[in-house]
Amino acid sequence: MQIGAFEIREPIPELHEPHMVVNLRPWTDAGNVGSMALTAVEKALNSQELGRLHRPSVFYDFTRYRPTVQQIESSRHVELPNSVAYYSGRQAGNDLVFLHALEPHASAEDFVESILELTQRMGVRRYCQIGAFYGASPHTRPLRCSGRASDPELQDFLVSMGLTVGGGYQGPTSIMALTVEMLRARGISTMNLSVQLPHYARLDEDYRGQETLMRILDRLYNLGLDLEEVTKRANTQYFELDKAVSADPEAKVAIRQLEQFYDDDHGLIESSEELKNLESITLPPSVEQLLKDLESGKDPRIID
């Protein structure tokens, strides 16, 4: 069955007042934090596929998002880049719909309209977009996270969890921002959660960011997540980063500047103009090489 541009598996599940949790790649998926967090939650809840775009080439340029080929037993299988939705029914609380959304290159309004149709058909009560971006958080401090909700009571709850109120950003954005506006106009609650990652440590997979985001989702939805493994990965990754930084005088000075900025409680850096003031803080080649090793898995100290 098609809902907008999505091909939905049948029978379509009847969900209880579901909330939709969305990760948008690549715009707000720094360090793959949103992707990893969403996938881990789906796995923990034994989620099932709901559907995916029927013809993803309508929206995506396959020379920019490349198809991948895999060898499955004796056959080769080509996987097209796509936006895929999953769902999880729960015994208590709202059921959940998860959407891994790829930012469209074309027909963006139709893409947004299809998401709106999907939320309407599934009876979505709240739309929550999650992700991460690079900013002024030093790796030696708890990562800052911003949250913004259209519901005042939910906004107060986010603040009570220690999240900074977001929303001060002005500048380029994604077409998905239009989705939020249109959902609010239809009376659907919306929320945004963003983790701020160290701008100098651009890890392909930032486990501390993943852990931070999963802890927030766990508390929001009482998921009972087991975070032991991701915490181990985060501790190993940032411990090795800290050792490399501590051994380099230039890097130590740079990190102390960020720590002072953080401790003075300047809050989140959300605009590119503000971040330019901190771009002089760079890491020496030795630390950059360590980060590359951590990303590629060459370092044997990273837990598999």
What are 282-294's pLDDT values in tens digits? 666 766 666 666 5
Find the range with the poorest average confidence among 2-6, 136-140, 184-188: 136-140
**Residue 247, in any domain of the structure:** no
In tens, the pLDDT along 126-184 reads 999 999 999 888 999 999 999 999 999 999 999 999 999 865 667 788 999 999 999 99
**Residue 210, in any domain of the structure:** yes
As for how many domains the chain has, the answer is: 1
**Higher model confidence: residue 140 or residue 296?**
140
- Report yes or no: 18 and 94 within 8 Å, Cβ to Cβ: yes
**Higher model confidence: residue 282 or residue 196?**
196
**Residue 88, in any domain of the structure:** yes
**Residue 185, in any domain of the structure:** yes
Strands (E), the chain: 2-3, 6-8, 19-25, 48-53, 68-72, 75-79, 84-88, 96-102, 126-135, 145-149, 164-165, 189-198
pTM over 0.85: yes
CA distances from 255 to 104, 115, 145, 265 (A): 37, 42, 19, 16
**Residue 234, in any domain of the structure:** no
What CATH number is given to the structural domain containing 184? Answer: 3.40.50.10900
Biggest alpha carbon–alpha carbon distance for the chain: 61
**Residue 143, in any domain of the structure:** yes
Q: Per-residue pLDDT averaged across 48-69, rounded? A: 97
Find the range with the poorest average confidence among 108-112, 150-154, 169-173, 218-222: 169-173
Please state, rounded to an integer, the average pLDDT across all residues of the chain.
88
**Residue 111, in any domain of the structure:** yes
Range of the domain at 64: 2-225
Find the range with the poorest average confidence among 97-101, 155-159, 241-245: 241-245
Judge whether residue 302 has pLDDT over 80.
Answer: no
**Residue 245, in any domain of the structure:** no
